[in-house]
Amino acid sequence: METSTSRDNQALPSRISQSTPPALHKPTTPASKGSFLRRHLRGDYSLARSYWLHTVVLAVLLPRLLGVLVVPLFTDGPARYGAAATVVLLFAGWLTWGWGAWGTWMSAGKHTQRGGKRLWANVARIILIFGLIGTVANAVKIQAALGEYLRTALGKQWGPETTFEVRADGRSILLKGGINDDTAERFVTALDAVPGVRTVVLNSSGGWVTQGRRLAKIIAARGLDTYVEQDCASACTIAFLAGKSRAADPAARIGFHAFHSMGGFDEKFAQSTDEKLARETYGEAGLSPAFIDRIVRTSHDKVWYPTHDELLQAGVLTRTSLGGETATLATVASTREKLEEEFKKSEVFDVLSVKYPDDFNRIVDGAWKKAKDKRPDSEIVAAARVALDQMTGRLLPMASDRSLMDFQHLLLERAEALRLQNSKACAATLFPAIQSESAHARVSLPQELTDREARFTAAMIRDSSPDNRKTVSKEETQQTVSYLLASLTPEQQQLLRSPQLRAASPAATCTMVITYLRAIDTQPEVLRKRTLRVLYAQR
């Protein structure tokens, strides 16, 4: 009995051990060893906590909340800082999502061991698989935008390097190039070095909107004027609109388009934010809602260039300009030789320098006097233009038939273009004595007409020859003059004969000039050639 009892008692612990539930043999509570991050990765936490708290809240929602709070802090700073913050937050979001998803996956594998239902473990893993597919697809979708952010974070700019040039008179400064990260800061340094600057000349195709807004604040705070000689578009217009007085060369262009945020992680949100910022920016500048509507409707990859009349009506320009308001030539041409090189860039003066070098040198000498005094381009060009007109007037008797007809037609177009601007300038088309040199600088011709006039003048200089000169009889002259006088009223005939009446009545003289030139222009070509030869043979 004792032996049997002893054996039975010895076997009891073994049977009890085999019947003990695994849950009591191996505790499933989270291990105390390891950090929170490592325990999550091992799947030591419950499936509900791993998914909802660690993955959804900590790995998904928290990074997004940080993005909403952190990124706006860089709005007014250099673009590279905002881009770098965005990239860091994006990669941090992917990393935390990977951490959360992996730990949830591992926790799902242990869910049934903790007494949970296999259904929820499978559902969790299916959700994680779709989440992974969505994350990878999103990464592929935004790779171009991500590349743009990375390049910007490393210092890439949207425009060429910004340069600053103080004009020779010390009263204007040229800002040329991109509106880049450091443009506003460098602009302040450049202005502080030349306190006499009153006008900012802008020549830029744009850049960062943030920098454009900073430039605008600097220009407004210092009460500076703005001026465009060539082109100002996109973010450049923000700076331009801050000018106290705003004007542009007749050939200059000022262009607008919708704002465009860097990258494209959320296109709809970005477009909404961009439009809101554009309306706020241009609204603060005083532009009308209708004008702003046209801006935001213009795609960011296109540019809307309103006419100068539209710009004046909208208040973008506060006044008209005839161009040449700053001392560009005096700045570039620091010596007479350099000024001569600048003049030769024009076809007219290049041809003149070859065929009539003495006349060319005389014109450059007169312009150089103005340049040495650091006068604006308008005065230098006007002095050269008056001298050129006098010189070409002497060449008319030696011009070819074609040049004479082109010249006469251009005179008519010029008079018609100037009629609404300046009666004296219109009358001076045929009677230069009516208008002084200073008055000549106060008129503007359409650019297309100016370009054609330059081409025809160059052609007339090039083909001028003594062989073209014709001798006409007194009878031919009388016949031609009688024909032209017949096209004029008695009052206009008196104006034609009397310098005093012409000086006293520039408007009536302008009308007479146009009538006179039209009478020539409507003649048959053969008769017109003879008329022009008769008229210009007397010069």
Same domain, 41 and 115: yes
Average pLDDT, the chain: 85
In 3D, which of 317, 297, 299 has the Cα closest to residue 307?
317
From CA 305, how far away is CA 256, in angstroms rounded?
Answer: 7
Same domain, 169 and 232: yes
Q: Is 344 inside a domain boundary?
A: no
Same domain, 228 and 266: yes
Same domain, 211 and 257: yes
Same domain, 115 and 253: no
Same domain, 192 and 76: no
Q: Is 425 inside a domain boundary?
A: no
Same domain, 167 and 149: no
Q: State residue 147's pLDDT score.
A: 75
- Could you report the per-residue pLDDT of 64-120, keeping only the tens digit for each? 888 777 766 766 667 777 777 778 888 888 899 899 999 999 999 998 888 889 999
Count up the domains in the chain and report the number: 2
- Could you report the per-residue pLDDT of 180-202, keeping only the tens digit for each? 888 999 999 999 999 999 999 99
> In percent, how much of the chain has pLDDT > 70?
88
Same domain, 280 and 215: yes
Q: State residue 14's pLDDT score.
A: 38
CA dihedral 265, 266, 272, 276 (to 10 degrees): -30
Residues whose CB is less than 8 angstroms from the CB of residue 38 and which lie 6 or more positions away in sequence, other chains included: none
Same domain, 50 and 69: yes
Query: Which domain does 90 fall in, by range?
Result: 33-153
Q: Is 493 inside a domain boundary?
A: no
Q: What average pLDDT does the segment 290-310 reach?
A: 94
Same domain, 200 and 256: yes
Q: What average pLDDT does the segment 290-315 reach?
A: 94
Whether 520 shows a pLDDT value over 60: the answer reads yes
Q: What average pLDDT does the segment 203-222 reach?
A: 93
Whether 25 shows a pLDDT value over 80: the answer reads no
Q: Is 177 inside a domain boundary?
A: yes
- Could you report the per-residue pLDDT of 337-380, keeping only the tens digit for each? 999 999 999 999 999 999 999 999 999 999 999 999 999 998 99
Task: Considering only residues 146 and 126, tell me which one the structure prediction assigns the higher pLDDT.
Answer: 126
> By the 8 A CB rule, do 342 and 332 touch?
yes
Same domain, 119 and 168: no
Q: What average pLDDT does the segment 459-467 reach?
A: 92
303: domain CATH number? 3.90.226.10
From CA 338, how far away is CA 330, in angstroms rounded?
Answer: 10
In 3D, which of 159, 170, 247 has the Cα closest to residue 202?
247
Q: State residue 76's pLDDT score.
A: 65
Of the residues 108, 128, 153, the one at which a domain ends: 153
Q: Which long-range contacts does 288-296 make (Cβ < 8 Å, 24+ apart)? A: 288/314, 288/315, 291/316, 294/256, 295/256, 295/257, 295/258, 296/258
From CA 248, how far away is CA 226, in angstroms rounded?
Answer: 9
From CA 240, how far away is CA 344, in angstroms rounded?
Answer: 32
pTM for the predicted model, two decimal places: 0.70
Q: Is 259 inside a domain boundary?
A: yes
Q: Is 65 inside a domain boundary?
A: yes
Q: State residue 344's pLDDT score.
A: 94
Same domain, 71 and 178: no
Of the residues 125, 153, 181, the one at which a domain ends: 153
Q: State residue 270's pLDDT score.
A: 67
Of the residues 122, 153, 184, the one at which a domain ends: 153
